[in-house]
Amino acid sequence: MNKNYYAIIMAGGIGSRFWPISRTSHPKQFIDILGTGKTLIQQTYDRFLKICPQENIYIVTNENYSDLVKTQLPGISDHQILTEPVMRNTAPCVAYGSFKIENLNPDAILAVAPSDSLILDEPKYIESVNLSMETAAKNDCLITLGIKPSRPDTGYGYIQYNDQLLNGDFHKVKTFTEKPSLDIAKTFLQSGDFLWNAGIFVWSAKSIVKAFEKYLPDMTDIFADARSVYNTENERQHISNAYQQCTNISIDYGIMEKADNVYVLPSEFGWSDLGTWTSVYQLAEKDYVGNAVIPSEKVIMYDSSNCMVNVPGEKLVVLQGMHDFIVVEANNTLMICPRDQEQSVKQIVADVKQKFGNKYI
């Protein structure tokens, strides 16, 4: 296994679209949403164990989740958990991990991935990441993995590429487009040169540091100034102060959309960002009338179809006459919502917070 291969797992999100099962104190990356026996962050970590040495895997997360990471990933040491004092989107997260690792090993090749994606074809995923890391080691490039779209999904970002190739497999990126309308998404699929943006990146430490210097110089100053304290007892306090100065900006908008050395690898490995209950429903096993029930031991359904049900395993639940609904119970909260209105969950969470404070959030 290549000692220069590193992984940065981004695990700081709060997963509000999976409320009420996902809470601020215990978000979705730490939950076994599909009933597989492993949480999403555990699955992500296990995949990277097959790509790079265990000691080269770093988790960037909110400082409130540090104990959750230690509990769920017992192989991780304290210095591999990079804690953020506040949420500042993905650019500071990537900068922190990249500058820290570059300080340890200037020859590092980094894979950066969310902690809460689902990957169904693990061998294909490992093959794609390894190919990308080999290419990033030989070229000054920023690589993103693009997923071949199976439908005109409006919940994903899209990457358009051209015919200019790097290393035979990597296409030069032309444009990034955030969550388009349905009509535009259909046009993207018809054109054949668009991929879903999976938010999975590969680059050398040198290339990403150079990109930060060019496109986010203020953020570069913040994390470059920390070089003298990385991997010392003063690191956490310095970073805590540094984050207060960071702009809230994504790595996509801050660097990837601006850089001229961005390439995409068209990939197919059964990816889903598991962003909504509908995405869980699409992936879950269903009965003959389309109901997906997790867990299913004590749920009885009459004249009901195409429902997504996630309730505590010890509770008896009886549903009658329910069609195309999401039924979720967790943390002393029950939510029943039409599947085609699940985009309102974020607003529901905001309303609950306004009415009851943080008790149910």
- For 301-321, write each residue's pLDDT tens digit: 999 999 999 998 888 999 999
Measured torsion, CA atoms of residues 189, 194, 199, 200, in degrees rounded to the nearest 10 = 120
Let me know whether 110 and 84 are in one domain.
Answer: yes
Mean of the per-residue pLDDT values for the chain? Answer: 92
CA–chain centroid gap for 34, Å, is 16
Residue 297 has what pLDDT? 78
- Of the candidates 213, 230, 201, the residue with the CA atom closest to the CA atom of residue 9: 201
CA dihedral over 338, 339, 343, 346, signed as positive or negative: positive
Residues present in the chain in total: 361
Q: What is the CATH classification number for the domain harbouring 137? A: 3.90.550.10
For residue 316, how many C-alpha atoms fall within 13 Å in the half-sphere facing its CB? 0
Average pLDDT of the segment spanning 211-225: 94
Residue 265 has what pLDDT? 97
Least confident of 4-8, 25-29, 31-35, 88-92: 31-35
pLDDT of residue 295 exceeding 80, the answer is no
How deeply is 18 buried, as exposed, middle or buried, from its count of CB atoms within 10 A (0-12, 13-18, 19+)?
Answer: buried
Domain count, the chain: 2
Let me know whether 107 and 227 are in one domain.
Answer: yes
Look-up of token digits 């917070």: 353
Residue 61 has what pLDDT? 96
Let me know whether 125 and 146 are in one domain.
Answer: yes
Let me know whether 36 and 164 are in one domain.
Answer: yes
Under the banding of pLDDT at 50, 70 and 90, the label for residue 327 is: very high
- For 143-168, write each residue's pLDDT tens digit: 999 999 888 888 888 999 998 999 88
Spell out a b/e string for 86-109, using b for 16 or more CB atoms within 10 Å of the CB, else e: eebbbbbbbbbbbbbbbbeeeebb
Non-local (6+) Cβ contacts of 326 within 8 A are 277, 278, 281, 307, 308, 309, 335, 336, 337, 338, 339, 342
Alpha helix ranges (H) inside 269-320: 277-283
Let me know whether 55 and 164 are in one domain.
Answer: yes
